[in-house]
Amino acid sequence: KGNSRHKLISIAVTPINPSVAKGLIRQFKATGTYTDHSVQDVTALATWSSSNPRKAMVNNVTGSVTTVATGNTNIKATIDSISGSSVLNVTPALLTSIEITPTINSITHGLTKQFKATGIFSDKSTQNLTQLVTWISSDPSKIEIENTSGKKGIATASKLGSSNIKAVYKFVQSSPIPITVTDLKLKSITISPSSSSIAKGLTQQFKAIGTFIDGSEQEITNLVTWYSSKSDVVPINNSAGKKGLATALSIGSSNISAIYNSISSNKINFNVSAATLDSIKINPVNNNIAKGLTQQYTALGVYSDSTIQDISDSVYLGLAPILHQLVFTIRPNHVKATLYRLERAKITAT
């Protein structure tokens, strides 16, 4: 193979000991040196191999390497009994692009819209980067977008006109989304759920949907002002982050409604019962999750009047370890478990 008049004495593999991000492809090259000191590209003549295919796989004909998992592997090129190698270090996946959703083209003047930023990495994995990116509006006088922790990505249509929205993280930026602030008029407000009856001491989140003159709809829960006809029975929250959250304070009933820009919603009769809690069901049942991942749990209360209500935010969640290992941690009021060790645990709610 190679130089037919002279004997191959060595092979050099390049690039030399490179670092490549997980999910990317890198072409390796083999250069042969002969007894007459001549050199020749022998990439296509060599047989290629990887010492650890779980870290990186190599095409044994072309020398093209695909990284699979972080760690090191030797990439080797062999011709007859002569070989050369290079140590490949596979590093964590790189952020390659950012996508913004939803890809809407307009927001009604005075309203808000939550945008989400999704990072796409070199190994094709995705991650929600909404709270990590820096949000930018090309014209903040038209559309202002939040960069406050916990509120990132919330755009407010302040003035008629247009602006481009984009997200930036670690020198990677999304494609800008052009958005126009329109002057659509609100036609009606509908609040839900359409009827509600819960036990004393529990809470109910109400939602407001605005319908505009063009027939489009948008959630305006955080824009409306919420009212309860009997706040001593069912007070309803108008604080930022808690708008529309009603508390069953005492037995009785109250009408719940919402108003925005002089437009009133339908009224919903909210009943507070004296029903007592008989049992609690947790969903999902007997669930398995991979180490390091999270699982959202829901606690459902079964009451003496046969109603079933979501009481996830009201219960205390505990766990009984099995095999003497504590394997879950629980975030208070979020009913979410994260698996840290490969054991089992029984989740309970009280």
Tens digit of each residue's pLDDT (9 = 90 or more) over 266-276: 999 999 987 67
User: Domains along the chain?
Assistant: 8-91 (2.60.40.1080), 95-182 (2.60.40.1080), 186-273 (2.60.40.1080), 277-349 (no CATH)
- Compute the mean pLDDT over every residue in the chain, rounded to the nearest whole number: 85
Asked if pLDDT for residue 149 goes beyond 80, the answer is: yes
Bigger pLDDT: 307 or 103?
103
User: Pseudo-torsion of CA 284, 287, 291, 294, nearest 10°?
Assistant: 0
Count Cα atoms within 13 angstroms, Cβ side, for 119.
20
157 CA to centre of own chain: 25
Provide the 10 A C-beta neighbour count for residue 188.
Answer: 14
Q: How confident is the model at residue 327 (pLDDT cuts 50, 70, 90)?
A: very low
Bigger pLDDT: 149 or 323?
149
With H, G, I as helix, E, B as strand and everything else as coil, classify residue 347. Answer: strand
Q: Are 224 and 208 in contact (CB under 8 A)?
A: yes
- DSSP of 20-71: EETT-EEE-EEEEEETTS-EEE-TTTSEEEES-TTTEEE-TTT-EEEE-SSE
**Model confidence, pTM:** 0.62
What is the mean predicted confidence (pLDDT) over 329-335?
41
Q: How confident is the model at residue 277 (pLDDT cuts 50, 70, 90)?
A: confident
Q: How confident is the model at residue 4 (pLDDT cuts 50, 70, 90)?
A: low
Predicted confidence at residue 319, as pLDDT, reads 47
Among 42-56, 172-186, 226-240, 282-296, where is mean pLDDT lowest? 282-296
Q: How confident is the model at residue 330 (pLDDT cuts 50, 70, 90)?
A: very low
Tokens of residue 164, six digits: 């481009």
